[in-house]
Amino acid sequence: MNIELDPIDLKIIELLKQDSRISHKEIGQCVHRTGQAVGARIAQLMDAGIIKKYTVAIKYEHKQFIQLFMNDQQAFIEVERLVKQYEHVDECFKVLGNACYMIVSHFDPPQLNEFIEQLSQWCRYSVETVMREIETR
């Protein structure tokens, strides 16, 4: 389903990004619609795949951005299988550019070392460790 986002949809999305627990009634007050109308719009946004899920943001002590550079074609299958086994991997993206994959993770140093040792049999890597987060909103 393809839908075009209007200003009300964009405002609903922004409010949900700020607080995924906000009620439809509260959103409705902000966008001058009923809670029922807001619920219908949210359902359309979910059906269209624009809203994938509701979630919470967890502040982890450690956070990494890991770029993977593949050695060969077979490595893609193995790396994807390996990444799915680690609960500390928050997100994994197949990307265009210098790297083949970008991983967002929250490993403690010993866990990161183990993960990297496993990865190194399939690919080269670059790890960027977050020193501090800069609040944007």
Domain count, the chain: 2
DSSP 57: -
Tell me if 45 sits within 8 A of 1, measured CB to CB.
Answer: no
Look at the pTM and tell me if it is higher than 0.85. no
Using CA atoms, how far apart are residues 114 and 119, in angstroms rounded to an integer? 9
pLDDT per residue of the chain (137 residues) written in tens, 0 to 9: 578 899 999 999 999 988 899 999 999 999 999 999 999 999 999 999 999 988 887 888 999 999 999 988 888 999 999 999 999 999 999 999 999 999 999 999 999 999 999 999 999 999 999 999 888 86
- Residue 32 belongs to what domain range? 7-47
Same domain for 111 and 68: yes
Is residue 58 a part of any domain in this protein?
Answer: no
CB neighbour class for 107 (10 Å; exposed up to 12, middle 13-18, buried from 19): buried
Is residue 19 a part of any domain in this protein?
Answer: yes
* Alpha-carbon distances of 115 from 1, 82, 111, rounded to whole Å: 39, 9, 6
